Chain A
Amino acid sequence: MANENSASPNYLKALTIGIWQENPTFRLLIGMCPPLAVTTAVKPALTMGLSVIFVLVCSNLVVSMMRNLLKPHLRIIMFTLAIATFVTIADLYLRAFQAEMSEVLGPYVPLIIVNCIIIFRAEVCASKSNVIISILDGIGTGVGFTIALCILAGIREILATGRFFNISVMPSGFVPWAAMQMPVGAFVTLGLLLGLSSLLTKEKAS
């Protein structure tokens, strides 16, 4: 499915495919650790999403530029090295300029290295298509991922604290759901969202 779509020289398609049709979290179910781990509030989720967009675009760019030099058996390790370099840059940047967020996200920033989304896009798209398509694909997939993170984080933050970006949004009698702050909230919310997305897909198809 992914192969034929990303191989066609359609720039708009490359940009939009990642947002819904191949949304990494809701449709492809890859890279599930960050959506569960960093979505207790919207701000860390947004920071995570932006870091992933940065890493994804840069690694797609580099992989696409060296796609003719890759040897099959060394491919994955080359991808990983490129990704690790950009993740180090992102981590150092966060530590220098967003110290508070860096503390909250902790080891989940370096864990972007082993996030399947990035290596998957490198394998499926960037190692086969030209530089512009790869960059657009990186932006599209990254934005799709960020949107998924923010939806999940928004639901969890509102239900767990009754606030959204420090603004009270719930009626005064609202009792915060403590469970939403805990791992169980992450798993169940994501499960229900996935159910919703498959419901929507089926209705569209029928």
Chain B
Amino acid sequence: MDSTYALIMGFLSVVIVNNFVFTKFLGTCPYLGVSGRLDTAFGMGLAVTFVTALSGIMTWLVDFYILTPSHLEITRYICYIVVIAGMVQLVEMYVRKFFPSLYKSFGIFLPLISTNCVILGLCLFINIWGTNNLLEVAVLSTGAGIGFAVAICIMAAIRENLIMSDVPESLKGAPITLITAGLLTLAFMGFAGMIK
């Protein structure tokens, strides 16, 4: 019972309170770049969630069963990036084979995911937090991906409305998006302290 409670709390914490985009600035590039329209943002969020969950688990397994026992921690970053690139490739092949229509709508986003900082960031943070339980790792990685999806969808919805508003000429585009993002983080700070 206790561990289930801890898992739910960990999940909520990584989705809302310690959202990777709002508190750790990870994945800011796609967050600003791909959030122009709600449907593409949703697709991107979904793809990232999928890859994050898989690579979080895989890198943890590699770290726990291969790198740490054989004292190869020095090659950690290289191993992580190879695992992530491999995961993205795998997901791409799988989606192309079994969901061709989904593959078409993802387009260029799928290969781009491998340079999304959320994924590598999550793998590094799992390492720093010292998580040593596969279930916890799975919950945290899925949560981080969902957190990113939530952030990018909120942003896209705001930006769709922003088109119609009267913004000063020089602030149009990226600057106003960043300021909006700032106000959003302020709103999300209201959740801080809810969960330790």
Any B CB within 8 A of the CB of A192: yes
Tell me, yes or no, whether A170 is within 8 Å of chain B by CB. no
Contact between B77 and A106, CB atoms less than 8 A apart: no
Cβ-neighbour of A195 out of B78, B124, B168 (below 8 A): B168
- Name the CB-closest residue of A to B21: A183
A184 at the interface (CB under 8 A from B): yes
Question: Whole-angstrom distance from the CB of A202 to the nearest CB of chain B?
Answer: 7
Given the known interface contacts A84-B77, A191-B182, the answer about A182 and B32 at a Cβ–Cβ threshold of 8 Å is no
CB-contacts of B166-192 with A (<8 A): 168-171, 173-179, 181-183, 185-186, 189
Residue contact A88 to B77, C-beta cutoff 8 Å: yes
Q: A182 vs B171: C-alpha distance in the bound complex, in angstroms?
A: 22
A91 to chain B, nearest CB (A): 7
Bound CA span A69–B126, Å: 36
Residues on the B chain within 8 Å of A30, using CB: 29
Contact yes or no, B186 A184, CB < 8 A: yes
Q: Which residue of A lies closest to B170 (CB)?
A: A199
B-side contacts of A92, CB under 8 Å: 74
Least CB distance from A45 to B in Å reads 13
User: Among the listed B33, B82, B115, B177, which residue makes an inter-chain contact with A114, where contact means beta carbons less than 8 Å apart?
Assistant: B115
Residues of B near A81 (CB, < 8 A) are: 78, 81-82
| A150 contacts the other chain (CB 8 A) | no
Given A37-B25, A199-B170, A110 and B77 contact (CB-CB distance below 8 Å): yes
B164 on the A face (CB < 8 A): no
CB distance from B167 to the nearest CB of A (A): 10
State whether A91 touches B178 (Cβ < 8 A).
no
A110 touches B124 (CB 8 A): yes
Residues of the B chain whose Cβ atoms lie less than 8 Å from the Cβ of A132: none
Whole-angstrom CA separation of A75 from B85 in the bound complex: 12
Query: Which residues of B lie under 8 Å from residue A77 when comparing CB positions?
Result: 82, 85
Q: Does B116 contact A (CB under 8 A)?
A: yes
New A-B contacts (5) at CB < 8 Å, excluding given A115-B117, A183-B22: A76-B111, A81-B78, A88-B77, A183-B23, A192-B175
| B residues lining the A interface (CB < 8 Å) | 22-29, 32-33, 74-75, 77-78, 81-82, 85, 111, 114-117, 119-121, 124-125, 128, 168-171, 173-179, 181-183, 185-186, 189
